[in-house]
Amino acid sequence: MSSKMQSSNNIAHARRTVQQLRIEASIERIKVSKASADLMHYCGEHAKYDPLLMGIPASENPFKDKKPCTIL
């Protein structure tokens, strides 16, 4: 690649970088306190439906091997 092409590629890349940074700089941000509170709230609301957190009764566990029982 000629050095002229290379430098115009570099400029094109730099222009794209600036354009992208402009987009990212312009977004609205909420406070970390609110963001954290919302995530905590979500976890709290959904915890009781989370099988890995709450445990699964054997009768409802599709992966548990069902072994025959012998009544002695």
Return residues touching another protein (CB under 8 A). Answer: 7, 10-11, 14-15, 17-18, 20-25, 27, 29-40, 42-47, 49-53, 56, 61-65
Closer by beta carbon to another protein, 30 or else 69 = 30
As measured in angstroms, the least distance from the Cβ of 5 to another protein is: 15
Residue type, 39: L
Give the residue carrying structure tokens 């312009």. 26
Of 11, 21, 33, which is closest to residue 3 (Cα–Cα)?
A: 11
Q: What phi and psi values does residue 33 have, to the nearest 5 degrees? A: -60, -45
CB of 2 to another protein, least distance (A): 17
